Structure formats: C-alpha cells, structure tokens
Structure 1
Amino acid sequence: MEWKGRRGSRNIEDRRGIRSAGGAVGGVGVIAVLLIGYFFGIDVTPLLEGAGSAPQGQTTQAELSPADKAAGQFVSVTLADTEEVWGHVFPEQVGKNYRPPVLVLFKGVTPSPCGDASGATGPFYCPTDRKVYLDTDFFTTMSRQLGAGGDFAAAYVVAHEVAHHVQNEIGILNRANQVRAQSSEAESNAISVRIELQADCLSGIWAREAQERFGSLEEGDVEEAVNAAKQIGDDTLQRNAGRRPMPHTFTHGTSEQRSRWFLRGYRSGDIGQCDTFAAWQL
C-alpha cells in the first residue's frame, strides 16, 4: 500500500503519550493474555491491572517510539482515505452528507462511553461518541499471533471500524442494536454476525474506491485484506484457541463468510450489495 508522504486526517485524537497505571504493559506474555480475551470475548483488563510501575489511579507520560510514530502516520493516512472515499460514495448512494468519525489512538487502556478501550477489547467503534478506538499494537498482534501481516491488512482493520460508523450514519447500527437488546443471546449473536459481515462488505467498497481514486493499492494488497478477514473469522479463532467451533457463539462470522463479503463489496462497489440483513444465506 502506497501511503508515505500522503495527506493525513485531522480527525485523530492521540492519547498514546498518556497511560493509566494499569495500561503501561507490554511483552509477549501480555499479548498472550490479550489473545485470551480476544478469542473468548471476555474483558481481561483486570488481569493487566498492576502490571505498570505507577501507583493505581495515576498516569505516566510515555515517549512514542519511531515505530509508534510511523503507525500513527499510517493510521492517519488510512483514515483520510476513508474520509475522501465515503465523502464521495455516501452522498451518491445514500443521498446524505457524510460526517466522518474521530479516531482515538491509545496505548494500554483509555476510557470511552462504551467502556474502557484496551488491548483486551481490540479495536472498536463506539456509536455513543462516534469515535473509533485503536491501539496500534494490535497490528503487531495480527501479524505475529494471528498470521495476518501486511500494511493493507492493517488498513482493512481501520476501514472495518470506520464501516461501523458508516452503518451508524445510515441508521442501521442503532436499529440492529435495539433489536439485539431485546433478543436472546443466540439471536443477538446472529444479528451481530450480520452487522460485522456488512462492515466487511463496506470495507471492500472502501478498498475498491481507494484503488480507483488514489491508486494506492499494490500487488497482493487485496490478498492481505482477504487473509486478515479469514484469520479473524470466529471459527478460525476458536480453533486456534483449542476450542471446537460453536456457531451459536459466533459474533463476527466464519473465515469464509468474512472474506467473501469483503470481496463482494470490493467487486461491486455498491452499498446495496452489502445488505446482510436481507440475505437468506450468509
């Protein structure tokens, strides 16, 4: 992916220079703990508390490494690309102006109206404050632990979370979450899968438009995104965690579904083709 030297977004809120006492952690052991939370869908933040050197309730200033700075620049450029793409596609296909989200960069733990953001929760979009929360260390986890390396795989993660904001702007996310709140756990999980697969499809539209508008994709980039979608499918994650895949617990979709819906958006460029809620078979 060609990104260096290109325009970055102003909608970045960088909190990486400030860490809470429980968030200044790192290392392979911590990554393993975070993966437990990611695989099993539980918040392992309490397991990380006390791992920092500062007293509880205090904050420490963290100097950003060259790698941190490069990751921040990469995310900024990717976010700017999503702003330009959806700023064009949204009015054309939805008939409304697009209001871009703010992306919060953090390290360790940071608060959000949707609960604390941490390595345990992974990247997520909070519809309450319309912000995406991302610890760029997740890119390292994807590459080293999940087998989903490459800069376009990382861009896919950003595009996927921004796609949830697109869903929110359309009005889909709020309606779906209202139904989920009144449903059984199994039904709620099934709706969550449709939400996530639609975000994958919208990410595919972004990838197509990014290539057409900026020519930023390089050979193998689409394959990187497809591989990332496969590696974070519920069935693959559960197998890698030593568990037998249990479809009723899936919240994001299988590897095959995630990669297929991404490619559906990439090949069509049409939001209407991403209607997972009308699909008889996912």
Structure 2
Amino acid sequence: MKKEDAKRTITPELISGYAVYLWEQEKAPATIEKYTHDLKALCGWLDGAGITKAALVSWKEHLKEQYAAASVNTILAAANGFLTFCGWTDCKVKPLKIQRNLFCRADKELTRGEYVRLVRAAERAGDSRLSLILQTICATGIRVSELQFITLEAARTGRAEVCNKGKRRAVFLPDKLCRALLRFAGKKRTAGAVFITRGGKPLDRSNVWRSMKSLCERAGVAPAKVYPHNLRHLFARVFYALQKDLSRLADLLGHASVNTTRIYTAESGAEHARLIGRMGLVIT
C-alpha cells in the first residue's frame, strides 16, 4: 500500500464523524442511516485497501453490475459526500448519466383499482389500522416517514404541519379521512400521533412495509408494486390528471424541484397508447 493511500483509509471513526456532520447539516435520519450503510459496504469491498481514484472507479463498475443506475447514483452520492468531508475530492467519481424515462414500467405502476383491493384486503383481514394507513398516505401524498405528523390535532383541524429534510409544509387532510382517523383513535386518546406502536411510539417504516407486503396475495396485487412510496406516486398521478399543475403538486409533495415531481407523474404509457390509437392516422 502506498504511503499516501494509507492516509486514505475508511475507518469507523471517520464514518461516525461524517454521520455527525450530516446531522449538523440537518439531513434526515433515514438519509444518514443509508449513507453510513453505503460507506460501510464500500469499506467492506475495499477490504483494507486505501482510497484511490482507480479503486473507486472499479467499485463503481462493480455497483453497475449489482444495481439499477438510479441506485448506483445514490450510493455514489454517499461516497462523494464522504470524500468531500475528508478532503479527498480528487478521488470523487462521476454519477451515471440517466436519460429521463417518459413512462414508468407497467409492472411497477400501482393502479387505483389495485390500491382499492389492498385497502379491502386489509379490512377483510380485520386490520383497520393498516387499511387507514394506506388511505392516509394515498389521500395526502405524504412519505411513510411523515405518518408521525398525522396527529389527532391534525385530524380535528384538517391540516398537518410536516417537517422533513429541513423544510416545513402544510398537508391537508380530506374531511372523510379526518372523521375516519378520529373514529380509529377513539375517545380515550386526545393528543399525539394517530398511528403508534403498543409502546406509544410512532410506527416505523419497516413495520408498514412488511404489513403491506402481507396483503399482496390476498389482494391479488404483484409484490413489486406494493410498498409505501408507490401510494405517494399514485396520489401524484391522480392529482396531476385532475389539475395538470406541476408546481402546485411539487408544493404538496414537498419537492424542491418540479423535475423530481415529473418522475412521480409518469405513467406506464397505456393511456398514451390509447390516445394515439384514437387519432385515426393509420389509413390501411
């Protein structure tokens, strides 16, 4: 190992220091957790070798064989941020270039009908909490991590104040949802988050994810379509179909850029194909 490379070794202390730095930058806890996980994975791949540009380019090629391009870029973002933190900017690697898709994959798009089947399946299973969680996420467009901000106070006023990624935004709750939330909470509880564990803490995203997956077979919906964030995408598509207002949708979703919001409004292309078919431009 070269002498200068020995100075560029990822250590647990450096990763911990970077995590503290991210916290001071007010990054979301989930972001900090993912970045530290990715750095530990890089550390394992290096297997004691020092950080060099050549090593990281090889690691990038390894990632390309294992993950989709978007996932590779999130991992590279974690590594490049860490390199900047350490002052090793000469080793940073470029993200993959991704051409924006006009349409999402049909096998990934959750339809309104499939969403209804998931809700009904939860109700048949006697899981009223899961049924209401699905409806809360889909009817408001919130992230699963933002469920903690759906409180009894918000259900009474029809408006939740959500704080995420250093930004605050108002989330409006439909009247019908407010009534359902208050019925679910009952008369014994007067304040706090609606969805809590037996210990009284807000639900963890992993709990919601596993519960949703358990509905797939009963609801007849492909598991690849069933995860909390897909409910947020369904909210975005339905809202955009009604309003055609990307800026307002970006505000509702808490996006800093409408370019991100465009990804959420992408459909499988089936509707576009039907519209093209109705144009009547094929003569023979």
Q: TM-score, normalised by structure 1?
A: 0.27
Q: TM-score, normalised by structure 2?
A: 0.27
- Of Structure 1 and Structure 2, which has the larger fraction of its residues in strand? 1
Larger Rg: 2
- Of Structure 1 and Structure 2, which has the larger fraction of its residues in helix? 2
